[in-house]
Amino acid sequence: MIKTNKTKPRVFSGVQPSGNLHLGNYLGAIRQFVELQEDHECIYCIVDMHAITVPQDPKALREHVLDLASLYMAVGIDPRKSIIFVQSDVPGHAELNWILTCNSYTGELSRMTQFKSKSHGKESSPTGLFCYPVLMAADILLYDTDIVPVGNDQKQHIELCRDIATRVNNTIKETFVVPEGRFMKAGARIMALDDPTQKMSKSATNIHSTISLLDQPNKIKKSIMKATTDSDGEIRFDVENKPGVSNLMTIYSVLSGESMADIETSYRGKGYGDFKKDLVGVVQESLAPIQARYEEIRHSEQLIRDLKDGAERAGAIAEVVMKRVKDTFGLGLGM
């Protein structure tokens, strides 16, 4: 058994600071972050080193880091209950990344569907994109994490992290806590509004494909009213045959707390227009308080203080784990 200094199960997750968070990020992942902080020790990271796997403007990246930190807090992550910090402020992530790179295989990394889709059709891709899941494993293992709340698209990365941790534990020495992924029953995969066969994504080119948490009421209305549905006119949850309507119903249900059955009953005999109009209201009302809090936090001096404090607290945990990892591999002088 690994000796850790935890008093509660530990949660770790991260989000890339690559533009504004959308409803998929919120409903699939960040909503869980808020829930979990009540009875877990939670560590939430802004993964700026993952963001540079694709080219970034340095000034804009720093701004996006602060935008994301403010959004974390605006949705309800409390920096006094949870640790919020920037990945590159804790050097252990890069250090452990290398050690895990030496304990992972090109074969398993080549099977990652996210790498396959991002590199599809290209003769060559940045090595960082290929090794992205190893850095993600380092993020998680650096904190003796028990639970990783994420959306469905990260399932394969979590499995890889578990495989690497188990491999080191079994073949070298018991060193890592093997984490579990945590996925929402509803909302773990929110689809694009313009194409419900694709997940909602930050990299979408059509602005009406996503709803950002900072979208203004008019933009929310336009995107929802334009959302792709189908031609049978019935409000019924059926992901296979009615992916567009089912996606909109999921957003409605999760934000309003109403069950799918109640939504189906309320809209029996009504058309998509009525349902979409009400969904616009539900989304606008859910996002308005987040946006108001965001504006207060984003330019406050407390924001930087909270991130520095978060990095110190995260760094202290990481240091203990890194000492154990270095001992396992015989790195450094062991002092």
Query: Can you give the binding site for ligand TYM, defined by CB under 6 A?
Result: 12-16, 24-25, 28-29, 47, 50, 136, 139-140, 148, 150-151, 153-154, 157, 188-190, 199-200
Comparing every residue's Cβ against ligand TYM, the nearest one is: 28
Nearer CB in complex with ligand TYM: 37/154:
154
Instruction: Tell me which H or E stretch contains 11.
Output: strand 10-15
Nearer CB in complex with ligand TYM: 139/146:
139
Nearer CB in complex with ligand TYM: 15/255:
15
- Catalytic residue status for 199: yes
- Catalytic residue status for 173: no
Say how far apart CA 228 and CA 245 lie, in whole Å.
8
What minimum distance in Å lies between the beta carbon of 28 and ligand TYM?
A: 2
Nearer CB in complex with ligand TYM: 79/133:
133
Say how far apart CA 4 and CA 320 lie, in whole Å.
9
Nearer CB in complex with ligand TYM: 185/299:
185
Q: Where are the alpha helices (DSSP H) in 91-202?
A: 92-101, 106-110, 113-119, 127-141, 155-171
Encoding tokens for residue 41? 């020790």
Question: Which residues, listed in sequence order, are joined to residue 10 by a DSSP beta bridge?
Answer: 41
What minimum distance in Å lies between the beta carbon of 25 and ligand TYM?
A: 4
Say how far apart CA 318 and CA 93 lie, in whole Å.
8
- Catalytic residue status for 202: yes
Nearer CB in complex with ligand TYM: 115/294:
115
Q: Which of 118, 155, 173, 219 is catalytic?
A: 118
Nearest to 6 by CA among 37, 42, 34: 42
Say how far apart CA 212 and CA 214 lie, in whole Å.
5
Q: Which of 6, 81, 155, 199 is catalytic?
A: 199
| CB neighbour list of residue 20: distance below 8 Å, 6 or more residues apart | 67, 71, 202, 212, 213, 214
What minimum distance in Å lies between the beta carbon of 16 and ligand TYM?
A: 4
Q: Which residues of 203-226 are buried (b: 16+ CB within 10 A; e: fewer)?
A: ebeeebbbbbbbbeeeebbebbee
Residue the block writes with tokens 């495989």: 163
What minimum distance in Å lies between the beta carbon of 148 and ligand TYM?
A: 5
What minimum distance in Å lies between the beta carbon of 232 and ligand TYM?
A: 25
What minimum distance in Å lies between the beta carbon of 133 and ligand TYM?
A: 8
Say how far apart CA 281 and CA 278 lie, in whole Å.
5
Instruction: Tell me which H or E stretch contains 133.
Output: helix 127-141
Say how far apart CA 64 and CA 17 lie, in whole Å.
5
Catalytic residues: 118, 199, 202
